[in-house]
Amino acid sequence: MPPDSQEAVDWLSVLGLLRYASPRRLTHVPVALTPYCAPQHLLKTVTALSSPFQLLMHRVADDWAFLEDTLGTAARHDDFLQRLFGFRLRENSQPWRLLISRNDFFVVPEGAGLGLRQVEFNTISASFPHLAERLFRFHQLLYRNQPDRLSVLLPNDPLTPISTGIAEAVQVHGASNGVVLMIVQPAESNRLDQRGLEQRLLQQHGLSTVRATLADVAVQGKLRDGTLRLGGERVAVVYYRAGYTPSDFVHPDAGAGRRLLEASDAIQIPDLAMQLAGMKKVQQRLTSLEVLTRFVSESQAAELLEVCAEMHSLDADSKDAEFALAEASKHPERFVLKPQREGGGHNVYGAEIVKLLAEMPPEERSGWVLMERLHPVPHDAVLLMDHQSQSLRCVSELGRYGVLLAKGNEVRLNKDAGYLVRTKGAEVDEGGVSAGYACLNSLVRER
Q: What confidence tens digit (pLDDT) does each residue in 295-326 have?
A: 999 999 999 999 999 999 998 878 888 889 99
The predicted structure's pLDDT at residue 35? 97
Hey, which bits of 139-195 come out as E strands?
179-183
Q: CB neighbours (10 Å) of residue 339? A: 18
Whole-number Å distance between alpha carbons of 98 and 70: 23
What is the per-residue burial (b if ≥16 Cβ within 10 Å, else e) of 52-76? bbbbbbbbbbbeeebbeebbebbbe
* Residues 248, 254 contacting (CB under 8 angstroms): yes
CATH 3.30.1490.50 range(s) for the chain read 310-371
3-class secondary structure, 60: helix
The predicted structure's pLDDT at residue 94? 92
Taking each helix axis from N to C end, the angle separating 191-205 and 159-173, rounded to the nearest 10 degrees, works out to 60
Q: Which of 106-115, 223-232, 359-368 is predicted with the least confidence, judged by mean pLDDT?
A: 359-368
CATH class for the domain made up of 310-371: alpha beta
The yes-or-no verdict on residue 164 having pLDDT over 90 is: yes
pTM comes to 0.95
Closest CA to 241 of 269, 216, 215, 217: 269
The predicted structure's pLDDT at residue 92? 74
Rounded (5°) CA angle 391-32-39 = 95
* pLDDT tens-digit readout, 393-440: 999 999 999 999 999 999 999 999 999 999 999 987 755 565 557 999
Mean pLDDT of 335-347: 85
Which H or E element spans position 262? helix 254-263
The yes-or-no verdict on residue 344 having pLDDT over 80 is: no
Q: How confident is the model at residue 89 (pLDDT cuts 50, 70, 90)?
A: confident
Cα 295 to chain centroid, rounded: 22
The predicted structure's pLDDT at residue 210? 98
* Residues 242, 215 contacting (CB under 8 angstroms): no
Q: Which of 37-51, 137-151, 340-354 is predicted with the least confidence, judged by mean pLDDT?
A: 340-354
CATH 3.40.50.1760 range(s) for the chain read 38-132+155-278+287-295+400-444
Q: What is the set of active-site residues?
A: 102, 120, 122, 127, 280, 338, 342-343, 422
Percentage, residues of the chain above pLDDT 90? 88
Which H or E element spans position 50? helix 50-61
Cα torsion 209, 155, 398, 20 to 10°: value is -40
Please give the single-letter amino acid code of residue 166. Answer: I
CATH architecture of structural domain 38-132+155-278+287-295+400-444: 3-Layer(aba) Sandwich (3.40)
Q: How confident is the model at residue 1 (pLDDT cuts 50, 70, 90)?
A: low
The yes-or-no verdict on residue 240 having pLDDT over 80 is: yes
Counting every residue, how long is the chain? 447
Computed over every residue of the chain, the mean pLDDT equals 94
Q: What share of the chain is helix, strand, coil (3-state, %, to 5)?
A: 40, 30, 30
